[in-house]
Amino acid sequence: MPTSILERDTLNAFTRHTHVALDGAADGPLAGMTFGAKDLYDIAGARTGFGSPDWWRTHAPATRTASAVQRLLDAGATLVGRTHTDEVAWSILGENAHYGTPVNVAAPGRIPGGSSSGSAAAVAGGLVDFALGSDTGGSVRLPASFCGLYGMRPTHGRIALDGACALAPSFDTVGWFARDPETFERVGQVLLGDRTEPGMPGPLFVATDLFEACGDAVVGALAGALSLVSRAIPGRTDLALAPEGAASLAADFRVLQAAEVLAEHGAWVDATQPELGPGVRERFAFARTVTPAQVADATARREAFRARLHALLAGGGVITLPSAPGIALPRGAAAAETEAFRQQCMALTSPAGLAGLPQVTLPFGTLDGCPIGLSLVAGPGRDGLLLALAAALRIAVL
């Protein structure tokens, strides 16, 4: 199997210990294109690393290839390698204590974002045409914003996740990155398997509370992009997306995610006693403090919020909000700074996660010479609408 990508990879985007490369079909809609796959997708005959040396050590080689990867191969794309992920995919920063931090070429000296860190770095650095990631709490949307890429979190359950390591199943989704809207849409059509005309978007709901929470600098950096989107989608209405407070949504997401992660991996942690890195170790500790009563309360609030957003977006409505609260943090920032930033990020990513909605990050802004994205959120199953909007807007990646 070819290994040239490892020789060309100066960004620490690709794994060495789990490297696999596979040729795609001779023809198909993605023929001639190359991609990387986040190292939580199984490849038949190889071990999956999941960002953890202990996971790699304690799990046998996969018996089949994840269907999302296979679908891309069948469409003609060539897998050139596996990309780094944060440890057990439970972070949004891109810094892995065991394997290092991929380089963000769009913001030198800053994090790429995670947990799909290697996939974002590989696409931003031009090592592949596109890359497969996953998104639970923002793991595609945030790296796309930090690295100046198009990134997609589809409707929850829209794309099969068989053969992928789970984190929190009621939030986990397949996701992908591209540098240009044409490639982004082509990949989406293959993964979504739906060529149906998306229809006309509208009305546009501007989440003014979430813009204001990010501060004047972010609002200014995204003003041009917001103006463009407002012209493209009729019927603009400004609203408070989270009148109960975005921090409250993020807190509910944290409780529900932690409970699901512990249910998935608590027994493995107990049996293996893995050497967990900073941040991940504390999140597992928090998960053990979550009570059934807290889960029940958060679940009830989630269902009410989900019903409200589904009703709001019925018929083609689209919400716009910042993809991130700011540009990427410097690499190696202090723990207190990274945790505060993480909480700000989760306030923006939790709405779509809690409601199971598709969200696209568009690379339409810059701040202090670094990328920052604008997001569009649509109703359930309206993924094609977001792809069509991304292609129609056609702004050069900044």
Per DSSP bridges, beta strands 150-153 and 173-178 are antiparallel
Angle between helices 383-393 and 223-232 (to 10 degrees): 110
248 catalytically annotated: no
Is 38 known to be catalytic?
yes
Q: What does R_g of the chain's alpha carbons equal in angstroms?
A: 19
Q: For tokens 């969200």, what's the residue? A: 359
Burial of 112 (0-12, 13-18, 19+ CB in 10 A): buried
Helix (H, G, I), strand (E, B) or coil at 152: strand
User: Strand 173-178's sheet: what is its strand order?
Assistant: 78-83, 34-38, 130-135, 173-178, 150-153, 359-367, 370-378, 318-322, 204-207, 237-239
Residue type at position 218: V
C-alpha to C-alpha distance for 27 and 76, rounded to whole angstroms: 5
Which one-letter DSSP state was computed for residue 393?
H
CA distance 167 to 179: 27
Q: Which of 115, 134, 350, 375 is catalytic?
A: 115
Residue 283: half-sphere exposure toward Cβ, Cα within 13 Å: 25
Q: Does the annotation mark 116 as catalytic?
A: no
Helix (H) or strand (E) holding 131: strand 130-135
Hey, how many other C-beta atoms are within 10 angstroms of the C-beta on 395? 15
Structure tokens at 344: 């700000």
- Single out the catalytic residue among 117, 119, 139, 323: 139
Catalytic residue among 38, 145, 323, 375: 38
Nearest to 88 by CA among 176, 171, 165, 174: 165
Please report where in the chains the tokens 């679940």 appear, as a residue: 299
Q: What is the Cα–Cα distance from 25 to 78, expressed in whole angstroms?
A: 8
* Segment holding 309, helix H or strand E: helix 292-312
Number of separate helices (H) and strands (E) present in the chain: 14, 10
Residue 220, exposed/middle/buried by CB under 10 A (0-12, 13-18, 19+)? Answer: exposed
Residues involved in catalysis: 38, 115, 139
